[in-house]
Chains A and B, each alone.
Chain A
Amino acid sequence: MSSTVVHDFQYESPSHQAQTAIAGMWLFLATEVLFFGGLILSWIYSRHWNQIGFDAGARETKLWIGTLNTGILITSSFTYAAGLAWIRAGNTRRLIQCITVTLMLGLAFLALKFGLEWRDDFSQHLFPAASIFKITGAEEGGARLFFIFYFISTGLHGVHMVVGVALLLWIIRRARRGEFSPLYHTPVHAVGLYWSFVDIVWLTLYPLIYLVGRG
């Protein structure tokens, strides 16, 4: 376990560098807000003009999977935060355990979303680019639009989750090599911010997909 912390030559001290790295991560997350924000605004705008079709589409989503996944993600943010607290207290073993649990939860989310939910959506002819679509009639256009947004947003979110999973594996690997300590755990902090952000994106998507229009 290293007891000295080095910093890059343009910084005054390790804490200067650590704070700068975290500032960079926050700024990166701001760009992601604009990225998803553009999509969500387009969604809201399109729904305004196609409300009946959107709601017809929304009724086809699988509420139980969405809700279960929401619970899984919220829990995973909690377990990650617990891991961060442990390494701040100096306990690498607990850190690794917590990140591993987070990883498992993340993989469960992905399995439910893509292995189960998307597969069902395809088999029920809910993929909007297919010529045969489950909903027909006056509501078809709006429902197809709803599912366009559904697949794009969950797909993009899924891509971000996969990146998150890769980052978790990286953290575990570095933790196993003893690279983190109470004095230095900036990557753990930064990845935690990213993971929680991906969680928050899901929390924004969940009502849009599963709740709005279902009533």
Chain B
Amino acid sequence: MNSPTMASTVVEAGQIDGSYLTDGFTIRSWLLTTDHKRIAVLYLASITMFFFIGGIAAALVRLNLIVPEGLLGSAEAYNRLFTMHGVVMVWFFLVPAVPVTLGNFLIPLMLGARDLAFPRLNLFSWYLFILGGAVTLWALFAGGVDTGWTFYTPLSTTYSKGHVVLAAVGIFIAGFSSIATGLNFIVSIHRLRAPGLTWYRMPVFLWSLYSLSVLLVLATPVLAITLLLVVLERIFHIGVFDPAIGGDPLLFQHLFWFYSHPAVYMMILPGFGVVSEIIPAFSRKRIFGYKFIVWASVSIAVISFFVWGHHMFVAGTSLYSAVLFSILSYLVAVPSAIKVFNWLGTMHKGYIRFDAPMLYALGFIGLFTIGGVTGLWVAALAADVHLTQTYFVVAHFHYIMVGGMVSAFFGGLHFWWSKITGRMYPEMWARVAALIMFIGFNLTFFPQFILGYLGMPRRYFSYAPEFQVLNVLSSAGATILAAAYLLPLAYLVWSLLYGEYAPANPWGATGLEWQTPSPPPTVNFIQTPLVTQGPYAYPPPETGRERHV
């Protein structure tokens, strides 16, 4: 395997001076910034914190499941822990992660713009996120919520003794942060493209974030009204989900999943975008089937609004609705499959290098595909009857969310780390961490497919003894996975202080963001770039080329 040598230009230690990082050193210059790059860094710190909170909750959950009777001893504590894990990971890590860090940082750069359309709205969005997060954390630590992140009624509205109102309010506030971010992205992509940057010349990352933003903007308001209705029902002891007065608990499920299904595509679409940038760069080849990939992103966003009922196949809905949602769920899987084939097609006849971003991207393809094919299982109606609400579904979505999305996030973080910080991370440690993550992840979640088939229900504090061996395997894997997440925290922080200074384009990749210094100055581009060719303008493979940058 070749490791890339650094670009031949010598980098001065003073490179970081004159960048956005040194444009003001006060706390005020950070907390009142409107620079999209600084806001991205603020967000990065925030979501890292939430990731570790959600991760600790997960660690305790897996710890509990080592013995059938539940090691933690308290079902109440366990119920609150898995709820905390779900709430924090879904709304405060997975949905924001790539968009608010990589998206905020890179979108103006990729557009050739100097900032987003509404920079003050961007800052406000971060404050909403922090406020929502604080309120939610307050709920979780003041005693917790014990309804699961799905808040099904009437458990959440009438029977739960947890801090449902507080948690719902926190999520409600954070939802507006998402809406503001999505709005900013959509308007920026429409209105701030540099001269010559037509839609079909945009990198796939921008198309993915555009599709994501449409989901953010249209689906999140439905979550907002749903949470509001739950809060009002809980406070006033009366509401539209209460069957005793003619309300309908299933109405909650329809409203909730109408948002939450697009939400899972909100989580994965940016991951697709990141991988679509990494694979061409590390295969030094233009992406295969550009138009198919970009339209696949758009069609995933559109179709995702029409499949929510597949979470309700055993909930008491009608036969016709179940059949309709099943076929639509198969339909939405097709564009994702197209993307996988196209990424492989990009690697075909490329010049592949195995730096850490590429290892994460390859891991994504493998793990996402496993998660994706198991989606075919749960989309099949009769199979879902057996598998739903078991660990099979848990494994399915963790393969996509963690195996896929978190891998993509780490891959993107490493790929653009030099652009964001001006430093290179230590390559060997990064590769080691990527490999450990792949191994730990599979050991944690693969046994859960089997547990699910065998019938082990999810959200169980204690379980039947015959499930113990697989649970122990899974928990063992979780410790390895934890190490794989702590390692990057350590070496990335180390690199901020001691990492090598990075040149503008350490990977030799295409894209406007690489035309600026690492890290960029506050205004991004001194002169607005003029775009004259499509993305991924690598030389064709038959011309042969140098083996490294």
Contact = CB atoms under 8 A, between A and B. Distances in A.
Q: Do chains A and B touch in the complex (CB under 8 A)?
A: yes
Interface string A197-213: 00000000000000000
- Lowest 3 A-B CB distances belong to which pairs? A129-B236, A35-B221, A141-B245
Contacts of B245: 140-142, 144-145
B246 A53 contact: yes
Interface stretch (B23-31, B109-117, B131-139, B468-476): B109-117
Interface of A: 8-11, 16, 19-21, 23-24, 27-28, 30-32, 34-39, 42, 45-46, 49-50, 53, 128-129, 140-142, 144-145, 148-149, 152, 156
Interface of B: 108, 113-119, 121, 179, 183-184, 186-187, 190-192, 217-222, 224-226, 228-229, 232, 236-240, 244-248, 251, 255, 258, 523
Nearest to B192: A10
Contacts of B183: 24, 27-28, 31
A129 B238 contact: yes
Indicate the member of A11, A32, A42, A149 with the most B CB atoms within 10 Å: A42
Chain A: interface secondary structure?
A: helix
A152 B247 contact: no
A169 B118 CA distance: 23
Given A45-B248, A141-B245, A145-B245, A34 B218 contact: yes
Nearest to A50: B246
Indicate the member of B115, B116, B184, B225 with the most A CB atoms within 10 Å: B225
A20 B217 CA distance: 17
Nearest to B223: A38
A172 B13 CA distance: 53
Nearest to B186: A27
Contact of A46 (B115, B118, B191, B247): B247
Given A46-B240, A128-B238, A141-B245, A38 B118 contact: no
B374 to A, nearest CB: 31
Contacts of B192: 10-11, 20
Nearest to A23: B187
Contacts of A16: 191
Nearest to B243: A141
A45 B251 contact: yes
Contacts of A129: 236-238
Nearest to B224: A35
A152 B240 CA distance: 11
Given A9-B114, A10-B108, A27-B187, A38 B222 contact: yes
A45 B229 CA distance: 15
B226 A38 contact: yes
Given A24-B121, A36-B225, A38-B222, 19 more contacts: A9-B114, A9-B115, A10-B117, A16-B191, A20-B192, A24-B117, A35-B225, A38-B258, A39-B229, A42-B229, A45-B251, A46-B240, A46-B251, A49-B248, A129-B238, A141-B246, A145-B246, A145-B247, A149-B240
22 contacts: A9-B115, A10-B108, A16-B191, A20-B117, A20-B191, A21-B118, A23-B187, A24-B117, A27-B186, A27-B217, A30-B217, A31-B217, A34-B222, A35-B224, A36-B225, A38-B221, A42-B255, A46-B240, A46-B246, A50-B246, A145-B245, A145-B247
A26 B549 CA distance: 46
A69 B101 CA distance: 46
Contacts of B113: 10
Contact of B222 (A24, A35, A45, A144): A35
B240 A42 contact: yes
Chain B: interface secondary structure?
A: helix
Nearest to B190: A23
A9 B116 CA distance: 10
Nearest to B237: A129
B225 to A, nearest CB: 4
Nearest to A20: B191
A38 B230 CA distance: 13
Indicate the member of A20, A36, A148, A156 with the most B CB atoms within 10 Å: A148
Indicate the member of A11, A53, A142, A149 with the most B CB atoms within 10 Å: A11
Contact of B238 (A8, A27, A42, A144): A144
Given A46-B251, A141-B246, A34 B238 contact: no
A152 B117 CA distance: 34
Contacts of A128: 236, 238
Contact of B114 (A10, A39, A49): A10
A31 B222 CA distance: 9
Nearest to A12: B528
A89 to B, nearest CB: 27
A138 to B, nearest CB: 11
Indicate the member of B191, B219, B255 with the most A CB atoms within 10 Å: B191
A9 B523 contact: yes
Contacts of B118: 21, 24
A149 B113 CA distance: 45
A148 B239 contact: yes
A40 to B, nearest CB: 10
Nearest to A40: B225
Contacts of A23: 187, 190-191
B117 A31 contact: no
Indicate the member of A20, A38, A45, A128 with the most B CB atoms within 10 Å: A38
Contacts of A45: 248, 251
Contacts of B232: 148, 152
Contacts of B258: 38
B37 to A, nearest CB: 13
Contact of B244 (A8, A21, A36, A141): A141
A35 B224 CA distance: 7
Contacts of A27: 183, 186-187, 217
B248 A46 contact: yes
Contacts of A21: 118
Contacts of A149: 240
Contact of A24 (B187, B225, B246, B251): B187
Nearest to A11: B192
A144 B239 CA distance: 9
Contacts of A19: 191
Nearest to A24: B187
Nearest to B116: A10
A21 B239 CA distance: 38
A135 B118 CA distance: 50
A50 B251 CA distance: 14
